[in-house]
């Protein structure tokens, strides 16, 4: 049943997370419309559609970067296509739209460079892969220190010592 009116069946379920506090509201379509929740809007089902158009400082320029990037020279996909579908046309789109995607990734993840863990699989790295792996870990260690993520830096330091 609807949390607001208690009369109709809830068909809209909203979850909001603010300062690590989760609030869930179950609303019927009428109460959702009264609260300004739009339903049946095309493209609203895509996970990025709400975020890309989210209000906030510079939100309008997130996927434009203030400059019309034009279509990808390889597949012809545009930033408008990405806004609608949430998918890039080909691997070359990452290079074509790099400045705009970098800003979007920064807004979503808080950084535009990967600083997470590296998946090694079940087996230990082959001897030929050790120098590459050490170089990756050293770069991640440098970024972790620059961003003052000392827990990650300590873990990476231990991994590097373990492989050396």
Question: What residues make up the domain containing 15?
Answer: 1-39
Is residue 61 pLDDT above 70, yes or no? no
Does 97 lie in the same domain as 46?
A: yes
Residues 112-136: tens digit of each pLDDT? 676 666 666 555 556 667 788 888 8
Does 46 lie in the same domain as 29?
A: no
Q: How many domains does the chain have?
A: 3
> Residue 115's pLDDT is what?
67
Does 15 lie in the same domain as 65?
A: no
Q: Of 123, 129, 155, which Cα lies nearest the Cα of 141?
A: 155
Q: What is the mean pLDDT of residues 149-158?
A: 89
Grade residue 142 by pLDDT with cuts at 50, 70 and 90.
very high
Grade residue 91 by pLDDT with cuts at 50, 70 and 90.
confident
Is residue 137 pLDDT above 50, yes or no? yes
Compute the distance between CA of residue 69 and CA of residue 163 in angstroms, rounded to an integer. 43
Is residue 52 pLDDT above 70, yes or no? no
Place of tokens 């890039």: 88
């Amino acid at each position: 049943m609807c949390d607001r009116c208690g009369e109709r069946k809830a068909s809209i379920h909203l979850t909001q997370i603010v300062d690590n506090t989760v609030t869930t509201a179950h609303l019927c379509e009428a109460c959702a419309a009264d609260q300004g929740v739009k339903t049946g809007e095309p493209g609203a089902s895509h996970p990025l559609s709400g975020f890309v158009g989210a209000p906030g400082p510079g939100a309008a320029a997130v996927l434009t970067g203030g400059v019309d990037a034009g279509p990808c020279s390889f597949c012809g996909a545009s930033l408008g296509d990405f806004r609608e579908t949430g998918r890039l046309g080909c691997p070359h789109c990452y290079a074509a739209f790099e400045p705009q995607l970098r800003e979007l990734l920064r807004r979503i993840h808080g950084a535009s460079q990967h600083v997470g863990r590296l998946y090694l699989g079940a087996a230990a790295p082959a001897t030929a892969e050790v120098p590459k792996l050490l170089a990756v870990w050293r770069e991640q260690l440098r970024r972790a220190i620059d961003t003052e993520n000392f827990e990650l830096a300590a873990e990476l330091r231990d991994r590097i010592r373990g492989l050396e």
